[in-house]
Structure formats: structure tokens, C-alpha cells
Structure 1
């Protein structure tokens, strides 16, 4: 793999690409030469159209932010950078999100003008403060209670369309079902009268090609003709709804809100949202469902898991949205000179932020290119966007996709893809789904022929994001190894002999035994796909989880797992490493040592414990890393001299795991060089909130301008979820840092194990799963 390269910071006068790419004829707007791969990038060519994430693998690995001369845009491919841009909609304005990516010919402009086409700002491309003002005014129809009204209609439509197909034995699901139902649902959601639905169906695809595609000059006129008719007819339908705005329907609700807020919900805004809403609610869901069914049918074992266990469907939908979503990219424009990662971005620069690539970033997702329906951080995907412009209709899309998948797996579990078919896509930068999806099955094997009641059955899934418990994977304990008198090592395998997910050093799993869930670092071989290994110390004064595991888990015991996930990732680019462990903290450290040895890196291990007999994995450490190992058994009078060890590390990176007193001492020693130290806590002082000792308070969300009350027995995370604000979370014990949010104002009572002393004192960040307000109100950057 080529050495990762970075572009210059704004205040640097030298470009690191200059030597490597001095032959390149193109220069980016920041003065940096364009690399050959960046110069050849074209999102309208087949590799990007077929698989945007794979087409940008080179970028994620080598050049995560690059300038594309062919497109005239900066392209952003890594998860952290894409999410940061979504988060900051003031520096990175969405105003160009609906701008035509291919310049419009004069003939096409004349055609649009003839129809009075005046598509303007919508919730997708509007700047602040107008965006949030309108979003708040119109968001009620997207609340879970309101969306529940649509569930019976989605179920009825799905069954009716399946009834037409179920005895045919072969069908193009896109033409015969998947294109029609989401459009009908979208029109019902908007409140469009039944008699106008067929006409609006004819026009919807033209808008996508017009905005995100690359039609030829001749094609542009035809597309403009369809878009103009779409615009004109949408206005006529809107006027019809004005005559009777009562009842369900987002546009009818918006018309009623216009009467209350005429300066916020204007006539032109309603017309633009009428047209944009049809496209947004229709095409993205239709494409996403086609992508999902193709992906699952190509992975037969996963499909069969869903047929056998429908409770996995919500998480499977989310994983398909991550791995092959219908929204590949969005566009932004820089409102000031800024940076993305280490790359200087000038004011006025246009950016293509490729969420499809970000969703395959191994820095955030373990095994990012694999379909893993048990993945429990899959809802971190960016297919719905993030921040204040996150898709308002995400939960309607989830509802439809879950019902589609549940009906297909129940009524046609033996359905397969027609082999050797070629998948084609409407060429555009941002939205993708196959134009056709041919499947076949044997009608004689339809389960409902044996039991007709199957047609009427169905599972009602809770609206919103899937529960973390939906992602639990069953495993069997095949070995219990006593490492020390109070530490056991468990070997876990899949009960059916299937491969388990690969993992990277520093990763952990959540082990679920009965009603308890505990986090344990992996300490086996990351290349062994048949088994996972964890070590567990019996903690007598703890919360009882480790005691239960020690007392009840035996060979052949069935348990459940979540993960793996990695919040303690090893940076493999350094020259030297100092690995420090105390007691059971050796578990992630030994995996790092194994990896560094394979890479031929320079490293040293410093391992402290009460006695040699109490130190787990000691024999394997001596066998595999004896020449790099320094032991500190306290009963032999050997103490780990942290100041000496850390002071003599030179430029080595420090990775440490162990008791809080060890990590606190290490943090104090490295306060002036915090970037060089990486630690993982394996315990937290977690307790159920006692409302007699806690105070209720409020959090104000600066981006959405909502004020959310937090009860005395409620975490900030729980309060945010209750009002539909998606905040990623993992351990929910203040250990992992996943639920971190920015604090704009207020005093935080920090209760996490993530932030350093300096970070706590600054109070610019907090973990919503455990930390609270010291007094008064907190203002959060959400």
C-alpha cells in the first residue's frame, strides 16, 4: 500500500504532493498539484456508478480529500471528514445540493422557463437560520406517532402487489413492485389526491437526471420538458389541496402551518417542497429497497438467517443502507477558507461528500466491506446524512423497507436472483439503485400453499432506529481455560460453524449472558475467523456480571455477542510503541503486541500485576514476546516506575489499559503530549441514577433550537432519543466515547472515563450517556 499522503495545511507553503505529482498537468484551487488518480476520477464512469465505495478505496487509503478537475469539485471520502462537513452547515453550505451538476444548455433553460419552473430552496439546500425555522415548523408529520398512521397502508400495498406476483415464479421487482409502492406511499404521505397520483408518477425520475445526472445536450431538452411538466402539475395539485387542507398529509399540514406562519412557510417554498418531497420520499426508498434485496439474495446465508429470525430485520435494513445505500453523495460549498482533514479548502470551493465511501471506512466500521446484520454500530451510517440536515423521512423509509423485507422473507423464502443478469443504473453522482432486479422462485414451494394464514401474518416493528438487542449474535462457548485462579479465558464459536467477524487489535465485544451485558477486549488471533477469545477476571466487589459468568458459563453454554467494535484502535504508522498493561488490561495489549511483531515494528511491553500467578496470558507473552517483555509482580518487590518508563520512550506511541489509578497516573505524566497516549478503561463506576440525589435540568440544542428537559432519573442520551434526536452510542457506561457531543455553554458534571483532566476542565465536550449538568442549562452542538 502506498504511504498515506496529506495535503498542506492552510498556513504551510509547501505541498507534499509536489515531488510525487510534479508531472501532473492539473493544479487544485489551493495551488497543490493534482495526483494522477485524482485527475482521472470521473463519477459518471462505470466503476463509480456500479460501486462508489470501491471506486474510492484508493482515496480512503491514500488521499481522503482530493480535487477532481473533471468534476470541478473537491471529493471527500473518509467517514470522519464527511461527518464533520455534515455537522458544520455554516462553513459548508448546502445551498448547491440541488444545483445542476451538469451545466444546463440554453435550449433546456428556455424549456424550463416556458413552464415557469422556479424550483428554489427546500429543506435540503437551505441555509441557516431559515432552514431550522422551517424545519421546526414542518417536522410534526415526521414524528413517530404521526408516521404510525402510514403503517397499515404500507402493509396493505405490499401484500396487494405481492399477491399479483406470488404465483408467477419470476418477476422484475423494480418494474412490478419496488418503483410503484414507495411512490404511492410518498404521494399518500404528502396528501396528494388519488386521481393525481398516476400523472405525478410519470414525471418523478426526470428531476433526478436533471439535477444529478449528465444528460447530453439533446437529452437535456427532453428532460427539461418532463421537469417543467412536473413543476407545473405539482403546482396544480398543490392548489387543489389548498381547497381542502384538512386530514393527514404533509403538504396539507404545511398549508395549515402557512396560515399560522405565512412568512416562514411561503407559497414558493410549498411549491418547491411539493416537487422535491415526491422525489425524496420515492426514489431513495425504491432504490434502497432494490439494493437491499439484491445484496441479501447475493448473500444466501444471511437471507436464510432473516427468514428464520425476523427480529433481525430492522438491523439488516440498517446494514444494507450502510453497505449499499441509495444515497451515494451530497454536495456542499465552502463559505470561507477552511480545512477538511489536513487539506486547505478555499472559500467558494464545491465539495462532493461521498457518504457511500464513508460508510465503508475501516477507521469507523470493523470489516467495512462485509455484510454483517449483527453489526451493532451500523446505524452510524451516513446514508441519511447527519446533523441538522439529516433526512427527516428516515423513519418512513425504515418502515417501508422493514415491511418489504418481512413480507418477502415470510412469503417467498425460496426466492433467488435470476443468474447472469446485468445491473444497470441511471447515471448520476448521488442516487443509485438498479433499474431492474429479476428474481425467480418455484410457486409450488410457496409456504402459503400449505398454510394460507401466512399471508395475513406479519411482525410489527417499533418505529425508529433498531434496538441494540436486535443485533445480538448467538455463540457457543467451546472452551473455558483457567488462566489464573480468578481469570478465565473463553473461546467462542458460531453454533453452525460459520465464520465470525474479523477484528483488529484493541477491539472488544459485548458479551450477553442472561440479562447482563459486559464489555471484554478480544485477545485471540484476529485472522482466526472461526473463534473469538476473551479473558474475564472475577470481580467480587463488582456488579455481579463477572461472578455470574464464572459460576455459570461452561463448555457448550450458549451466549450472545454484540460487536466487534474498536474504540482503542492501533495506529500502525508510528516507528515505535510503548505498551503498558495492569492486570486484566493485558487483553487488548497482547493483541497489539502480536500485530506489531507481525509488522516488524519496534515495541516494548510493560506488564504489572499482584503476582506472576495472578497475571493472565503470562506464558503466551513470555513465549511470543519474551525479548520485549518487562514484568512487574508486586509480591516480588518489582514496581512499575511510570515516570522512568514514560520519560524514556522517545517518540514511541503509548498504548495502555489497566486499573484507573494506573491510567490516571499515566495521563498526568503525559498531559503535555496527550496525542501520543492512547488508553482504554475496562471498568466504570456505573450506577442507576437515583432521582433523590440527581437534579433535573434542560439541554438546549443549538443547531435545531430545541430545548429538551432531562429528568432526574434520565440520562441526556435517553432524553435526546425520546424526542427523536439520533445520537450514536455504544457502551452507555462512559467508557467508549461514542455518544460524545460538543458543549457550547454550561457547566458539565463529567462522569465518563474518556476525557482527560484538561478536557474536563475546558468543558467543550461531554458523554451524553452518563455526564450531566452541574447547574443550570447545557447548550449542546446538535
Structure 2
């Protein structure tokens, strides 16, 4: 491999030159033995693509494969960069046959007048974006809603067929046919000849991404030719009456408006490609997800018990075991990827399945975590201008399939079996998925009303605030007459989620609608317990009253998190901690951490009286004379003016407490260095939207190549989701920072309480849930 220009030492090359084959890359560099042996048609790749290329992800992230004639890219950041730049990295070879077709097979295809043209998947600009804009509307979350009843009805009808059998092949008996029917319905195609279309779809996959043997190529070519002719006949019939639902009919109607954009040949190609794209990927993704979840009984049990976890479980399954493990691009000019020189004209195999297991982006990447906060960062749908338009249709189908199966067959388990896959580089799902269960235990036999309960499908990006977990109240201990300490543990004794100082959890106080946030105040090093302290507020909104009056040891609670938007900077030279009343809770773990790290710190704790101040004895033992108690009944008030009179470079101030205290601190710190004061917020009104006082603005999405209008009465976050753009979110109030987006141009009207003063002045990021444009336009890195 070529050494990056910025490097001078041979050790900078990522290749182990002690183990090289005689093969050479197009740049003349020797190829390592592992790169020379890379073969995505091997069963090991089909069984587990991320594991198959683990060595590359860790040691040789960009390498040349002599067997394929492709450069292979395996790391998250590199692959996202390739997707982001669709001019340098052309999609034109995405549908190119990865195995050259024989002359005999080409002759067969020609006999059917096969003329597959460019589609949205493999065409370059400017044609691609013009067509994408014209044809996008049916794929938006709002437009997809009316498909949900049909998908649910189909899923239930197919489960009805085998619910009492005690065994099934979910692929043969449900997961292949239902997505095909949904795909045909979405496209507006009659549901005739389903079996034939299934065979044609497989043949198209093998023809484009597989390695059929010479004797198979003729059979495949005949199937693909028939597929092409059938697609043309269906399209001709639609042209006779293009009214009514269906994406293809929508395209025919748009052709009348944009004849140069939506052409006849384009519609014919999209008819054929659309059936494969809308059907096979979803069928495989659902089979992969069910296989994965059933292989992880705890995760399966949790989504059976709590269907609200299903949307994020879908994202995690798409990340961990997606149906599109790799895609292809063509370098249009000399370029570097990950420091490796790639010549113009090079073909790239970008292994998204590997990127989705990259430890640099996903903590414990090989672990299935259905509550993973950034699951939806996966690249299974691609990214940028060519991100899969049908992603939300697939998400909806997968959610409904999991909802129906977890509700009706929670006792389902995998049979002993070997899993086989159709050998190809880019589409992956088990050919069969054998499951079994005891029909006598079917829940609906004892509870016929079970089928009446339906969880609403969340079409679009799942939000973190919906990801809950059940915990058990291990103990309740009064700390003062008004404050109780609760220790929470997992029902099965498993470790609790990891957290850092400043984190909090959301607790459902009796109902999901009554949810309150409480800081974690235990020891982050304790894996078994989460600890919170709750102040009884009789005049509050009811959360603390419910906890104090209704909760007892052994009860189960639903919590969300931990989440952290009050992070402790461990690089600070000195820290001043300031707490008022129950505001001591997030400060406890921070001060403990400062002590562990040997940071110079002081802890100032204020309260009405010592009797009302929780944790005083524990804090005194741990912090000694670094603890300064300001008890009102003793006449000791914290003099902020004196304490903060002299600004100190490198000193950070962390504060939590009553609003009046925080406002006073902000005034006293006005002359301190930027961002010296860090404050914990649990509520915000800055993001409240009043359409009468707002103005509309435009947002140019640089990576996606589209412009979105944000009306006066809509948030940026909602406008982005309405345009089929994925943005994670959590609190929706500008408190947590999870919906942060990068800003490339335009002035921001910041309304969050997350960003520091210097971050706001830098004007390069914003919270999509609440902040807006100060002017008429923003340009975002999306």
C-alpha cells in the first residue's frame, strides 16, 4: 500500500510487510496475504461479514482484492466519507455485474431485448437528484402512514396460517411473501404471478451481485429476461390508467409534468429494480433480525414484554446484522481513502457491515444492545444523496412483523439448523429460518383480546426517549424528612448500564406520561446498582409525590437512560462544585471523580438547614475540608461574589440547584473565561415555538443534495424527518444534545441549553429540535 504523503517512516503503512503475497495492487504496492485471500463469495463471508473482515477493520482498513479487482473499504468514517462524496465516488457501478456474464448468457439477455438502464441507485448527477426530488414524496413518513393497516393485516393473516402448527419456516411461510406483497402494493403492481416474481427477484440478485457458475448463467439469464419483459408488460398496463395509488403510477403521472426527467426507459428499469429493492432487502432484514433476536433470548424477552423497545431494536438489528452488507462505488479521480492512494477508475467494495461493527464509532460493537443510543447511525441504508429512499417502508414492515410475532409467539424459539445464504456480495439473509413453539402456550388462547392492542408504528427515526428498561426497587432509605434514596437493580441480576458523572435517568412515575428526571448519585464503578435521591415536592407535578407515597421495595419501575448532558471535563486544572438543596445529586459523582483523579477541587453545598441536606455525613467523610457547608439556619450563606471574585484560567465551575441560585451564578461569572460555568438543566422554555413570532427559512442539506423549507410553525427536526432525513433525538426540548447537526453556513438562532458560549459563537452546530435560522437560510452537513 502507498504510504500517506504526510508520513515519512515505513512503519506508517497499515500493511504488515512481513506477510505479503506476490500480488500487486494497481498502484504497484504488494498485497498482503489476507487481502489476496479475500473472497466475499466464501461461506465465511456469507455467515458473518463483519467477523470475516475484522482483521482488515483493525489492521488494514483499505486494501486491494486481486480476486475481485476491487479496493475494499472497512471502517465507519472512511465509508461515510465515500457515501458523502457521490461525485468523487460515483454510484454508476452499483448494479454492474460483479461476475462478467458469458457471451452465451449475454445473447440470451439480448433475445429478450433486455436493456436495464440507470436507476436512482446507480446514476450520477445531475440526473440522479432531479429524479429523486420528483419521485421522493411517496417515501416520506407522512405518505407511508396509509400503508400501515395493510401491512399489519397481511402479517396477521400469515401468522394465522401457522399459529397452531407449533413450527414454521418463517422465510418460506411469511417473511418472503409478505414483503413481496407489500412491495407490489407500494409500487401499484397487481399481486399476480407472485411465485414467478420471487424466482425472478432471486435471479436478478444472482445475476448482478453473485457468482453463478457457467452452467447456471444461461438459466439465470432466461429468468432475468423474463423478469424484464414482465416488468414492461405491467408498466404498459399501468400507462392505460395511471390513476390511483402506487409509486409507479405516481411516476407515470410525474412523467407528464417532467418528461425529460422521468423517461420511458427509466420507468421500465425502475419497475424491475423497485421490486427487488422494496422486497428482497426487507425480507432478508427481517429474517436476519428475528434470527439475531432469537439467538439472544434476553433481548427477545425484553421486546416481548415491552413493545416500545421494538423501533430501536429494529435499528440495532439493522446495524448488527443488516441485509445489505456491502455496496459499490467507482473512483472518478485520484483520491485517498484512509491515507491510501486510490487511482482514478478504481472500483470500491464498501463493506457497511464492517463499518457497523467499528469500535471507533460503536461501543462494544459486537454486542447486541437493543437500547444502544446510536444504533441508528448504522450505514445499512447508506448515507447522503443516495441513501435508500425506501428505508422507512422497511422500518415500518420490520416493526410490524416484530410486534405481531412477539405478541402472538413470545415463546417461539429457533430450531437446531444450519443457515445458508445465496452467495453474493451485497444482499444477505438466511434462505430458511426454522422456529418452533408449543401451541398450547399461545397467549391468545387465554386472552382473545390480545390482538386488539396495537402499538403505533414510529415511522422515521426512533427517539431515545422511548427506549426504556425495567428495574426493581432494591431499597428505599430516608435521607432527610423530605428526601428518599432509592437503589435500583436489574430484575435478572445482570449489570446495570454504565454511566458517567453528571448522568441522569428518566423514571416513569406510575404512567409513561408522568415521567421525571433524576440525577444518578451513586458510584459509577458499581455495576449492580443505580442510585437516585428524590425530594418530595407536594406542590410539584406529581412525580415525587408518587415515588414517596406509592413506591416500596420490590416494586418494578420503568426507566430510560442513563443520559448525560452535564458531562464532567476530567482535564480541568481546578474545579469548584456548587450545589443547592437536592441539586447536590449530580455533583456527588463528579466530586468523587475529581478526588479519584487528584484534581484540585472544592465542594460548596447550600441548604436551609443541615437537617434538610442529604448525604452530608458521606460527603464529609469523603471530602474532608474540601467540603464547605452553607446552612441557612446557621447564618451561613454562600457568598458567590466573594467566591468568584477573581476569574481563574483553567478553573471550571459545576453548579446545580434552584433557578435563582443559578441565575445569580451566571451574573457572578460574567467576567470569567468563556464556558467556565457549567450548569445542570432539567427543563427549558427557550425552544417553545410560537408560529406568530417565527419566520420560515430554508435549509440546504449538503450531503443529501436537497433543500428543505422549515415553516414558521414547524421545528427543523420535524421538517428534516418529513423530508426522509434521519436525525436522532431524545428530549425534544434542547436539553440533551442528541439532535445536534453540523452547520456549514448561515447564522443560527440558538435556543438550547446544551451548547456553551464559545460553541454558540463558533456557529458550526445546532440542536434541530428547538434552534432555528437567524436569517433566511442554513446549510447543514446532512
1:373 aligns to 2:374 (yes or no):
no
Q: Which residue of 2 aligns with 1:290?
A: 287
Contact 2:496 2:529 in 1 (8 A): no
Closer, same or farther in 2 for the Cα pair 1:718/1:549, shift >3 Å?
farther
2:470 match: secondary structure: strand
CA separation in 2, counterparts of 1:442 and 1:558? 29
CA deviation vs aligned residue, 1:646-702 (integer Å, no higher than 9, x gap): 8xxxxxxxx99667989x99999799xxxxx9x986437721526289422212234
Please provide the CA RMSD for this pair: 4.5
Contact 2:594 2:601 in 1 (8 A): no
CA separation in 1, counterparts of 2:499 and 2:215? 52
1:48 aligns to 2:49 (yes or no):
no
Output aligned runs, 1:286-685, within 5 Å. 286-341=283-338, 343=340, 345-418=342-415, 420-450=416-446, 458-479=454-475, 490-494=486-490, 496-503=491-498, 505=500, 508-514=503-509, 515-518=514-517, 520=519, 524-525=523-524, 528=527, 530-533=528-531, 556=553, 558-564=556-562, 582-583=577-578, 604-610=598-604, 682-683=680-681
Q: CA deviation at 1:433?
A: 1.0
CA separation in 1, counterparts of 2:547 and 2:442? 47
Picking from 62, 86, 90, the partner of 1:89 is 86
CA deviation vs aligned residue, 1:209-237 (integer Å, no higher than 9, x gap): 22222333333343233222222222222
Q: CA deviation at 1:130?
A: 1.9
Q: Which stretch has the larger CA shift, 133-142 or 765-774?
A: 765-774
Q: Which residue of 2 aligns with 1:707?
A: 708
Q: CA deviation at 1:302?
A: 3.3
Q: CA deviation at 1:324?
A: 1.9
Q: CA deviation at 1:387?
A: 2.7
Q: Which residue of 1 aligns with 2:263?
A: 266
1:410 match: secondary structure: helix
CA separation in 2, counterparts of 1:755 and 1:337? 39
Closer, same or farther in 2 for the Cα pair 1:275/1:591, shift >3 Å?
farther
Q: Which residue of 2 aligns with 1:143?
A: 140
Picking from 680, 684, 687, the partner of 1:686 is 684
Q: Which residue of 2 aligns with 1:161?
A: 158
CA separation in 1, counterparts of 2:751 and 2:96? 46
Contact 1:17 1:35 in 2 (8 A): no
Contact 1:632 1:639 in 2 (8 A): no
1:258 match: secondary structure: helix
1:23 aligns to 2:22 (yes or no):
no
Closer, same or farther in 2 for the Cα pair 1:668/1:375, shift >3 Å?
same
> How many pairs align?
743
Task: Name stretches of at least 5 consecutive residues in structure 1 with no aligned partner.
Answer: 1-5, 598-602, 647-654, 672-676
1:768 aligns to 2:765 (yes or no):
no
Task: Name stretches of at least 5 consecutive residues in structure 2 with no aligned partner.
Answer: 579-583, 631-637, 657-661
Contact 1:377 1:730 in 2 (8 A): no
Q: Which stretch has the larger CA shift, 692-701 or 281-290?
A: 692-701
Q: CA deviation at 1:768?
A: 1.5
Closer, same or farther in 2 for the Cα pair 1:262/1:300, shift >3 Å?
same
CA deviation vs aligned residue, 1:375-406 (integer Å, no higher than 9, x gap): 45433333223333222222222232233223
Contact 1:7 1:15 in 2 (8 A): no
Q: Which stretch has the larger CA shift, 256-265 or 43-52?
A: 43-52
Closer, same or farther in 2 for the Cα pair 1:690/1:152, shift >3 Å?
closer
Q: Which stretch has the larger CA shift, 22-31 or 159-168?
A: 22-31
Contact 1:375 1:563 in 2 (8 A): no
1:194 match: secondary structure: coil
Closer, same or farther in 2 for the Cα pair 1:451/1:521, shift >3 Å?
closer
1:175 aligns to 2:172 (yes or no):
yes
Q: CA deviation at 1:316?
A: 3.0
Closer, same or farther in 2 for the Cα pair 1:29/1:692, shift >3 Å?
same
CA separation in 1, counterparts of 2:499 and 2:38? 31
Picking from 207, 221, 234, the partner of 1:210 is 207
Picking from 238, 258, 264, the partner of 1:241 is 238
CA separation in 1, counterparts of 2:15 and 2:741? 39
Closer, same or farther in 2 for the Cα pair 1:616/1:63, shift >3 Å?
farther
Q: CA deviation at 1:272?
A: 1.2
CA deviation vs aligned residue, 1:724-743 (integer Å, no higher than 9, x gap): 43211234454554323233
Rg (Cα) greater in structure: 2
CA separation in 1, counterparts of 2:483 and 2:542? 13
Q: CA deviation at 1:185?
A: 1.7
Picking from 190, 195, 214, the partner of 2:192 is 195
Contact 1:608 1:640 in 2 (8 A): no
Q: CA deviation at 1:439?
A: 1.3
Contact 2:688 2:770 in 1 (8 A): no
1:608 match: secondary structure: strand
CA deviation vs aligned residue, 1:236-279 (integer Å, no higher than 9, x gap): 22222222222211111111111221100011111111111111
CA separation in 2, counterparts of 1:641 and 1:412? 66
Closer, same or farther in 2 for the Cα pair 1:130/1:704, shift >3 Å?
same
Closer, same or farther in 2 for the Cα pair 1:263/1:591, shift >3 Å?
farther
CA separation in 2, counterparts of 1:154 and 1:752? 39
Picking from 214, 217, 221, the partner of 1:220 is 217
Closer, same or farther in 2 for the Cα pair 1:77/1:403, shift >3 Å?
same
Q: When the two structures are superposed, what TM-score results if normalisation uses the length of structure 2?
A: 0.81
Closer, same or farther in 2 for the Cα pair 1:454/1:40, shift >3 Å?
same
Q: CA deviation at 1:134?
A: 0.9
Contact 1:506 1:567 in 2 (8 A): no
Q: CA deviation at 1:297?
A: 2.3
Closer, same or farther in 2 for the Cα pair 1:223/1:581, shift >3 Å?
farther
CA separation in 2, counterparts of 1:52 and 1:75? 13
1:102 aligns to 2:99 (yes or no):
yes
Closer, same or farther in 2 for the Cα pair 1:568/1:442, shift >3 Å?
same
Closer, same or farther in 2 for the Cα pair 1:593/1:759, shift >3 Å?
closer
1:413 match: secondary structure: coil
CA deviation vs aligned residue, 1:554-577 (integer Å, no higher than 9, x gap): 7636543223467899999xxx99
